[in-house]
Structure 1
């Protein structure tokens, strides 16, 4: 698992590191930039995102399982409608009173709120326990993915930083030897140096050039 994570998203991670370091951050801001790199890497690192998605999904399922223990609330409504004949109904209730003929109706509406909660359900309790165990495991995997991302990012960061230091030193050495070579050539032209001095200066410069190329390649590989 850890081995797979170390190779997952490595090119993008290294690209982020090298892009940041090429800006030329000072030593005072390098620690801050590493924290910012870590936060940025969380947005695209495949291993971390996979663990985060799994943890979120497991947390949602655990919440659903616990929800089954909550009271179940329902609403029940009834509507009744009674029809009456005006002549017979009123005449029966009030003899001797003359009323208009015709029908009329009375509508009754009833709404009831019902709540039920199981005091103990073995099946629900087992489901909640299983969901909680899965959540603990998923959160542990997420923490492991976070730690692994930080290790990989830090390794890439300091590898590139060290490679850049070597390249900077190689470039400075090449620049100094280039001046020595130019001086040796001028001295040879005016007779103050031998051809051997010039060739030795050229050899040192060629070696410095090769070292610079190797250092630049190392930055590219680590980046």
Structure 2
């Protein structure tokens, strides 16, 4: 059988690896841009909460004109006023709760953006692996189609000269038809994966570089128990749930404050003056022309007495919300531990499965050559050779599937631990410096 190279063996001079694809997605994907703006908006909550604890200053001014043409005095009076007021909260638990809530929301915005960044990496990696796996499957399907087409030609030629059987022809045709169907299916899957990749990164499938498999798959860098404990603490969903619990605690503080006095320090300074038009003696007697200044400093206390039971209901709700957030946090921890466990087992089993599938592929290759030799000496039939080749191409697909599942599991473990970043992406596979291996059995 002729040896086939990779589809599109002449890769672009600057083909994109997985890290390049992730960086392209950061520039291209609108979703991560929206997440970044949401983060910046959420950070403002910290300053909004702090503002409630700081003094509030106000300036007020007024001007009125009073006309009484028939009056004996104050026929026309203009009044001016100006004042400045400063209010400083001294005791207001609702403002303290808002300050705490603002800081928590700002922290949560950062974690939400971190989650979006990690989700972007996993989405890009999934699309990237789907494209490369689609290439492998399509390549194997094309190689099988060509091989079975050649076998069909040979079977038909042998039948014409009386050296073959109708069974050989039918078997070769059946294998060819199956290979054609798999080729069409592989083309469809690759087109779908390519569309997903382009939507996220703006890159086409032709711009991706293949992964070299020269590096042996590595086991997880941490043990299972440590991975599960780290996930229960550092997973982004767990941290977000923790912030939700903090928010519920702030709501309890606010609900409690609704039952307590509110104390404010207030200081003000103001001036007012009035002047009458066409003043006469009566204006002087009755004081329609005057100027005053006033200053005030004091403490105001507001004590809630009764509000229809609303504050009590709000308090009960706040405590229930706290319990809900506490249960949600525990649920997030359990799910994170389970995701870490599944990813860890995916890595551990993936290493063993890759090695096993590599042996299966080598055995299938040897069987093709042995069966071909056996047919030449009359010990094997053409059907035996067709079946051996079919199993060989299935072994290629199974090995590719095991490899990409292993790579997915590595990224999934980092995501479960809450540490997924560029270092994890850069560590995927080896550099594809040399030509990719052929997919046809060696002659």
Query: TM range, normalised to the smaller chain?
Result: 0.5 to 0.7
User: In structure 2, do the counterparts of structure 1 residues 173 and 157 end up closer, same or farther at CA, with 3 Å as the change threshold?
Assistant: same
Could you tell me the TM-score, scaled by structure 2's length? 0.29
Q: Deviations over 1:31-84 (max 9, x none)?
A: x611111111122333322110111234467579889x9xxxxxxxxxxxxxxx
1:55 aligns with 2:26: no
Report if aligned partners of 2:43, 2:107 keep a CA contact under 8 Å in 1. Answer: no
Match for residue 210 of structure 1 among 178, 181, 202 = 181
Consecutive unaligned residues in structure 2, runs of 5 or more: 1-6, 54-87, 195-443
Q: Post-superposition shift, 1:165? A: 1.3
**1-side partners of 2:23 and 2:48: how far apart?**
30
* Root-mean-square deviation (Å): 3.6
1:149 aligns with 2:133: no
User: In structure 2, do the counterparts of structure 1 residues 23 and 48 end up closer, same or farther at CA, with 3 Å as the change threshold?
Assistant: farther
Q: Deviations over 1:154-201 (max 9, x none)?
A: 122222322221221111111111111111222223332233322222
**1-side partners of 2:178 and 2:39: how far apart?**
54
Write out aligned runs for 1:41-190 (5 A).
41-59=25-43, 131-190=102-161
When Rg is computed on C-alpha atoms for both structures, the one with the higher figure is 1
**2-side partners of 1:152 and 1:49: how far apart?**
15
Match for residue 167 of structure 2 among 196, 214, 220 = 196
1:222 aligns with 2:193: yes
Could you tell me the TM-score, scaled by structure 1's length? 0.53
**2-side partners of 1:55 and 1:24: how far apart?**
43
**2-side partners of 1:51 and 1:196: how far apart?**
62
Secondary structure of 2:28's match?
A: coil
Consecutive unaligned residues in structure 1, runs of 5 or more: 1-21, 70-119
User: In structure 2, do the counterparts of structure 1 residues 23 and 33 end up closer, same or farther at CA, with 3 Å as the change threshold?
Assistant: farther
Match for residue 19 of structure 2 among 24, 35, 39 = 35
Q: Deviations over 1:113-170 (max 9, x none)?
A: xxxxxxx9879x9687655433211111100101111112212222232222122111
**1-side partners of 2:109 and 2:153: how far apart?**
65
**2-side partners of 1:130 and 1:142: how far apart?**
18
